[in-house]
Amino acid sequence: MKPPVDWQDERSPEGILLVDKPAGVSSHAVVARVRKALSIRKVGHAGTLDPDATGLLVVGVGRATRLLGHLTKTMKSYTSTIRLGVGTDTDDAAGQVLDMVGCHDVTDDQVRSAFSSQVGTIDQVPSAVSAVKVDGKRAYSRVRAGESVDLAARRVTIHALDVLGIHRDALRSDIDSVTMVDVDILVTCSAGTYIRAIARDVGASLGIGGHVVTLRRTRAGDFHIGEASSLHEVTEAGSVSRRWLMSMRDAAMRSMPHFLIDDESARAVRHGRKIPWPGEGNSPTSEPTALIGADSLVGIAERSGAQARYLAVFD
């Protein structure tokens, strides 16, 4: 956890709070607890974690909720244990078992090769029980209502996938026992990648099924789990947990392309007046860019010709 800083400001809190989400708590519930701890209504999060997953949840407080869509669009990292030989209807341990297939004929080299085949830019079909919206309704809501959901593949990038360990054991059912394989992995991937889909697809490629047993997010964009406070610490600290808020300025400078602008330009931005694009000719043309004043985040803009077009202004 990042050490607390001295905080004397009694104004309504705002900033980015990094939370280590425990298992058994939804991302929505984390937001509710932060809202209660800080006594502020305006709280949101970037990148939903399943209730059984743990790890880094980036939470925006106050005006920082407007930043969330810009902060974690890049890479994310996860550790996970994937069980091969057992398939479930949700592709994770919370679902109903669909099939159990013995893995005694599957070698460690075949397991490693199957995971290696996932690395690179691939077209991945999200798990049916996911937060993907289908005609305005979450896929998991449709599945739980008894509907059949057919999701389209999405282009994702698996930058790296390391197999950390392979463990074999017998799993007993009411009828028989099968040899299963638990595989510990470390994945670095683009936002929007489903680790459950990796488990499903690796299992399918080996003809034995697969699902996620444990999942922990260790990185989201340029934020890391080592900087996070536990949810227990936040709820116990109450309003004092504002000490762990990262300023919008610091969060934007860490996570986005940015330009430092002078006081005159900052006043113009805050009043909605156009300013020339502050970068050189080879500066970003379409990527959202933070405009940084002397002591605060002034706005987010993109280049439009020779001028800055504002996507958000923080007055």
User: What CATH class does 256-313 carry?
Assistant: mainly beta
pLDDT at residue 151, as a whole number: 77
Cα separation, 228 vs 1, in Å, equals 5
Cα separation, 145 vs 133, in Å, equals 14
Q: Report residue 90's pLDDT band, with 50, 70 and 90 as the boundaries.
A: confident
Share of the chain above pLDDT 90, in %: 70
* CATH number, domain 75-215, options 3.10.129.10, 3.40.1440.60, 3.30.2350.10, 3.40.1360.10: 3.30.2350.10
Nearby residues of 198 by Cβ (< 8 Å), 6 or more positions away = 82, 115, 118, 124, 158, 161, 187
Query: Any idea which residue has 């400078």 for tokens?
Result: 253
Which residues are annotated as catalytic? 50
Tokens of 164: 């950390």
User: What CATH class does 15-73+221-248 carry?
Assistant: alpha beta
- 36 pLDDT above the threshold of 80: yes
Tokens of 221: 């964009």
Q: Report residue 307's pLDDT band, with 50, 70 and 90 as the boundaries.
A: very high
Q: Which tens digits make up the pLDDT trace of 252-304? A: 999 999 999 999 999 999 999 999 999 775 555 568 999 999 999 999 999 98
**Which of 19-28, 128-137, 160-169, 191-200 is least confident?**
128-137
pLDDT at residue 10, as a whole number: 56
Nearby residues of 134 by Cβ (< 8 Å), 6 or more positions away = 142, 149, 151
Considering only CA atoms, give the Rg of the chain: 22
Average pLDDT, the chain: 88
What average pLDDT does this structure show over 21-30? 96
**Do 15-73+221-248 and 75-215 agree at the fold level?**
yes
- 32 pLDDT above the threshold of 80: yes
In the chain, where are the structural domains located?
15-73+221-248, 75-215, 256-313
